[in-house]
């Protein structure tokens, strides 16, 4: 068993403890373009373990060598889905070789080197001894992803997270080879991105969050810094502005955009609304790191179908005119969807909840809605109708040739309460109160048990990618966010990267436990599931400093 998540495509394990890496071991980049990657790897290993490696050195002194090659020994099929960079998927394949004389990481492009070093970081952490040495087993790894788009959608509206806190999330994503951070930047509770022509969005609109949580927003400069930090880890940041529903913060900032439709809906026929949408999309085109933009489109409660379709069609046209390819939540399939469109599928729930919603028997469901979520029992009828209509969304999108990002709430919504108890007794309060109670509690083993290809049945060619989502109704701090994110994010990464249906839970959990020392050293507040034998950390007090 190789203690790496996601599991590499092909591994050949040799002698145990064949190579010792210590404070005098070095890292050498064969090409100048890899120098920054080498330095970030050294910094990451310090943060992961406390072990300091040395940058540079000659051929006789280097323990780890990074190099670009014209070809790899193993040819992999291209990954399924869309590349977050647009065009053909970036080749993320790599070869990692550990022998008694050193480590080599080879790839066709720098992104492959980044992915190979994520694997090496996990090997180093899992093999660290108390005398500040990592005893690596001899191994040959050839690896490549199953899906080109492997993402996380993060709600920064209901709880605002600083750029420093977002970087912590990006660090966790990079470790597990994920490559899209989808930031949900607007909702009824707040607006989180600076738009120069509409300054009140970040004055009145950004003031506050859910409940009494503090508000905030990202300046264009701060957002650009996040884009760079993510790009250095081969991650694309996808901005989302949610329209025409969930627009309460917009209408608080600019009440003149309010129509008779209601306090959180943008009416495409109301004066100024499409001008607003045009300016926002144009601003996102300037700061967005890739060719995609997410324009929401979900839960436009109370909006007539014709008005909804008119808005989505107009927003799509504006995005294309700005040079962006729009993504919408699955409800947008009810507009003039075409073969160049992308929808994000989310309305797949637990079978028992789906049965209640489809049957209209909402009594039991109503009892599970906590009062602090502010969902009136009467609203459940609207939600049930929304769910019934949504049953044809994905099939309609596939029929029209659109691509589908898979984010089924049944397995990829990470705001679900954990079922099993934590091993750490200090986590019992978090375990009790975090997560939306409308979702039945589920173990991390049950969340792990799914295959993305099966989600679309006979149409795997329609899959654009795989993306988890973390909503923050019950999450107020970065510690709480990390508690809900880990360890389930690792399981999502496993399903999105590893080839084929992948590992069983029994095998996967053996690779999950050895992750704990690295997570502890990073200070990540992960849920200590009682279903996993978590490894303990060796002491790093004697590890040398530069």
What is the pLDDT at residue 331?
97
Stretch 36-62: mean pLDDT: 91
Closest CA to 105 of 93, 90, 89, 87: 93
387, pLDDT greater than 90: no
Please say whether the dihedral angle defined by the alpha carbons of residues 262, 267, 272 and 276, taken in this order, is positive or negative. Answer: positive
Of the ranges 20-24, 123-127, 345-349, the best mean pLDDT one: 123-127
- Give the residue with greater pLDDT, 349 vs 437: 437
> Strands 150-155 and 19-21, how do they pair?
unpaired
Distance CA 367, CA 96 (A): 53
What is the pLDDT at residue 544?
33
What is the pLDDT at residue 379?
67
What is the pLDDT at residue 479?
98
Distance CA 375, CA 40 (A): 45
- pLDDT band (50, 70, 90) for residue 466: very high
> Which residue is listed with tokens 């099939």?
395
Strand partners, 95: 106, 142
45, pLDDT greater than 70: yes
313, pLDDT greater than 60: yes
> Which residue is listed with tokens 């997570």?
519
Stretch 227-245: mean pLDDT: 97
Closest CA to 120 of 129, 132, 112, 130: 112
> Strands 102-107 and 94-99, how do they pair?
antiparallel
> Strands 186-187 and 190-191, how do they pair?
antiparallel
What is the pLDDT at residue 384?
79
Distance CA 369, CA 361 (A): 15
- 208 contacts 190 by C-beta, under 8 angstroms: yes
Distance CA 543, CA 128 (A): 11
Which tokens belong to 79? Answer: 């990954």
Closest CA to 490 of 474, 475, 505: 505
What is the pLDDT at residue 367?
54
Which tokens belong to 402? Answer: 């659109």
Distance CA 265, CA 187 (A): 11
- 30 contacts 66 by C-beta, under 8 angstroms: yes
What is the pLDDT at residue 365?
54
> Which residue is listed with tokens 């279903």?
531
Distance CA 407, CA 467 (A): 5
What is the pLDDT at residue 90?
85
What is the pLDDT at residue 366?
53
User: Cβ neighbours of residue 87 under 8 Å, at least 6 residues apart?
Assistant: none
3-state secondary structure at position 354: helix
Distance CA 382, CA 376 (A): 10
272, pLDDT greater than 60: yes
Stretch 42-63: mean pLDDT: 89
Strand partners, 327: 294, 342
- 253 contacts 198 by C-beta, under 8 angstroms: yes
What is the pLDDT at residue 411?
93
What is the pLDDT at residue 546?
30
For helices 220-232 and 163-175, angle between their N-to-C axes, nearest 10 degrees: 20
Counting beta carbons within 10 angstroms of the beta carbon of residue 182, is it exposed (0 to 12), middle (13 to 18) or buried (19 or more)? buried
| Digit-coded pLDDT (tens) for 357-384 | 676 655 555 554 445 444 556 667 777 7
Counting beta carbons within 10 angstroms of the beta carbon of residue 470, is it exposed (0 to 12), middle (13 to 18) or buried (19 or more)? buried
Stretch 491-518: mean pLDDT: 92
- For the chain, how far is it from start to end, CA to CA, in angstroms? 33
| Digit-coded pLDDT (tens) for 172-219 | 999 999 999 999 999 999 999 999 999 999 999 999 999 999 999 999
Mean pLDDT (the chain) is 92
What is the pLDDT at residue 372?
45
Q: Given 299, 354, 421, 480, which residue is catalytic? A: 299
The DSSP secondary-structure symbol of 515 reads G
Distance CA 174, CA 183 (A): 16
- Domains of the chain, each with CATH number or no CATH: 10-143 (3.30.379.10), 150-497+503-522 (3.20.20.80)
- Any catalytic annotation for residue 541? no
Please say whether the dihedral angle defined by the alpha carbons of residues 204, 209, 210 and 211, taken in this order, is positive or negative. Answer: negative
User: Cβ neighbours of residue 321 under 8 Å, at least 6 residues apart?
Assistant: none
| Digit-coded pLDDT (tens) for 90-147 | 889 999 999 999 999 999 999 999 999 999 999 999 999 988 899 999 999 999 999 9
406, pLDDT greater than 80: yes
Peptide bond into 84 cis (omega under 30): no
- pLDDT band (50, 70, 90) for residue 468: very high
């Amino acid at each position: 068993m190789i203690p790496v998540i996601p599991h590499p495509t092909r591994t050949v394990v040799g002698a145990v403890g064949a190579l010792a890496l210590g404070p005098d071991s070095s890292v050498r980049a064969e090409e100048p373009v890899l120098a920054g990657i080498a330095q970030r790897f050294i910094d990451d290993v310090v943060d992961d373990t406390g072990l300091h490696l040395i940058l540079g050195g000659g051929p006789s002194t280097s323990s780890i060598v990074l190099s670009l090659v014209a070809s790899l020994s193993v040819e992999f099929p291209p990954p399924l889905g869309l590349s977050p960079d647009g065009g053909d998927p970036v080749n993320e394949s790599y070869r990692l070789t550990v022998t008694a004389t050193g480590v080599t990481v080879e790839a066709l492009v720098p992104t492959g080197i980044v992915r190979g070093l994520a694997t090496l970081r996990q090997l180093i952490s899992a093999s660290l001894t108390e005398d500040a040495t990592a005893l690596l087993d001899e191994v040959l790894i050839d690896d490549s992803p199953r899906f080109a788009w492997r993402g996380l959608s993060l709600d920064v509206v209901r709880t605002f997270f600083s750029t420093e806190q977002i970087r912590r999330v990006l660090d966790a994503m990079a470790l597990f080879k994920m490559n899209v951070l989808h930031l949900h930047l607007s909702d009824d509770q707040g607006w989180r991105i600076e738009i120069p022509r509409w300054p009140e969005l970040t004055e009145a609109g950004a003031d506050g969050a859910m409940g009494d949580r503090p508000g905030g927003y990202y300046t264009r400069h701060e957002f650009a810094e996040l884009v760079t930090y993510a790009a250095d880890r081969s991650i694309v940041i996808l901005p989302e502005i949610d329209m025409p529903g969930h627009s309460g913060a917009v209408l608080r900032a600019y009440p003149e955009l309010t129509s008779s439709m209601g306090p959180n809906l943008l009416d495409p026929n109301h004066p100024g609304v499409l001008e607003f949408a045009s300016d926002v999309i144009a601003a996102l085109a300037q700061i967005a790191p890739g060719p995609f933009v997410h324009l929401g489109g979900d839960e436009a409660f109370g909006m007539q179908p014709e008005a909804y379709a008119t808005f989505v069609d107009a927003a799509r046209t504006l995005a294309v005119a700005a040079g962006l390819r729009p993504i919408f939540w699955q409800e947008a399939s009810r507009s003039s969807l075409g073969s160049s469109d992308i929808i994000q599928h989310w309305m797949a729930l637990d079978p028992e909840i789906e049965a209640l919603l489809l049957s209209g028997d909402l009594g039991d469901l109503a009892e599970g809605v906590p009062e602090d979520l502010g969902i009136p029992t009467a609203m459940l009828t609207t939600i049930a109708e929304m769910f019934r209509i949504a049953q044809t969304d994905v099939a309609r999108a596939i029929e029209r040739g659109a691509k589908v990002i898979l984010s089924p709430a049944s397995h990829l919504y990470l705001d679900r309460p954990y079922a099993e108890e934590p091993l750490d007794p200090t986590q019992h309060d978090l375990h009790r109160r975090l997560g939306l109670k409308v979702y039945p509690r589920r173990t991390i083993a049950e969340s792990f048990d799914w295959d993305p290809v099966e989600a679309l049945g006979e149409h795997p060619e329609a899959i654009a990618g795989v993306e988890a989502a973390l909503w923050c109704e019950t999450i107020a701090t970065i510690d709480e966010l990390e508690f809900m994110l880990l360890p389930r994010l690792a399981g999502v990464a496993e399903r999105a990267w590893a080839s084929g249906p992948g590992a069983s839970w029994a095998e996967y959990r053996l690779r999950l436990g050895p992750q704990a020392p690295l997570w502890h050293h990073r200070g990540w507040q992960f849920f200590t599931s009682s279903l996993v034998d978590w490894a303990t950390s060796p002491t790093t007090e004697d590890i040398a400093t530069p």
